[in-house]
Amino acid sequence: MKKIAILVSILCIAFAAGAQPKFGIKSGKVNMAMNQMGQTISITMYFDDYGAKTASLITAAGQDIKSVSDGNKTYVINCADNTILQETENTEASQIDFNNLTDEVKGKYKIKEMGTEEFLGKTCQSYSAVVEQQGFEANVVYLIYKGIPLKTTTTIMGMSMVMEATSIEENIPIDQSLFAIPKK
């Protein structure tokens, strides 16, 4: 379970919804994969209202969990019994808006533009950043397409994890039940 909590924290660096829309696409679905210590983790991120709502379905260690962000908090939900496993306040680092970077945010997280790169047929802006997550300093390299991280390489305590999109669907209808948070 601790591995899953760390994984969700890493996902929050990349995908937590902000109070304001932060993606340049109204809605979408991004299928991703991550290999961590020989284990493949599949992630499907759904978003709507330009990223104001996000939900990620994660399959790891034989468990299916969902991470839903409502702008203020991120909820980790056990899909088997629809219960909240973890509830965390969204940090400023988890809500970096790459479409509207300020000098203050760039300075605070040591964000540097690293040029452009083609990924999945999309021209992405590459950024590096240093963020603190759960008391650890993480060096993160992002490939961003219209505000959406399509590839994220996170290095924490000498361990690197790469999460990369395998496909992206833009401006599609999204089932709003994906963003539902169970009652406590």
DSSP per-residue string spanning 129-178: EEEEETTEEEEEEEEEETTEEEEEEEEETTEEEEEEEEEEEES----GGG
Q: Are 23 and 146 in contact (CB under 8 A)?
A: yes
**Enclosing domain of residue 111:** 2-172
Instruction: Give domain status of residue 178, yes or no.
Output: no
Global pTM value: 0.85
User: Which uninterrupted H or E stretch holds 183?
Assistant: none
Instruction: Give domain status of residue 98, yes or no.
Output: yes
Cα–Cα distances (Å) from 84 to 52, 66, 166, in that order, read 21, 9, 28
Please list the pLDDT of the chain residue by residue as tens digits (184 residues): 444 444 554 454 455 544 456 899 999 999 999 987 778 899 999 999 998 889 999 988 788 999 998 777 889 999 999 999 888 877 666 668 898 888 998 999 999 999 999 999 999 999 999 987 778 888 999 999 999 999 999 888 888 889 999 999 999 999 999 999 998 7
Q: Give the DSSP letter string of 79-107.
A: TTTTEEEEEEEPPTGGG--GGG--HHHHH
| CB neighbour burial string for 156-175, b if at least 16 within 10 angstroms, e if fewer | beeeebebbbeebebeeebe
The encoded tokens of residue 182 equal 């169970």
Count other Cβ atoms within 10 Å, centred on residue 107.
9
Instruction: Give domain status of residue 71, yes or no.
Output: yes
The neighbouring-strand residues paired with 130 are 139
Instruction: Give domain status of residue 177, yes or no.
Output: no
* Count of structural domains, the chain: 1
Instruction: Give domain status of residue 179, yes or no.
Output: no
Q: What is the CATH number of the domain that holds 149?
A: 2.50.20.10
Instruction: Give domain status of residue 133, yes or no.
Output: yes
Instruction: Give domain status of residue 182, yes or no.
Output: no
Task: In whole angstroms, give the CA distance from residue 123 to residue 119.
Answer: 7
Task: In whole angstroms, give the CA distance from residue 5 to residue 24.
Answer: 29
Spatial strand order of the sheet with 148-156 comes to 83-89, 73-78, 63-69, 53-60, 39-48, 28-36, 159-170, 148-156, 136-145, 122-133, 112-119
**pLDDT number for residue 9:** 47
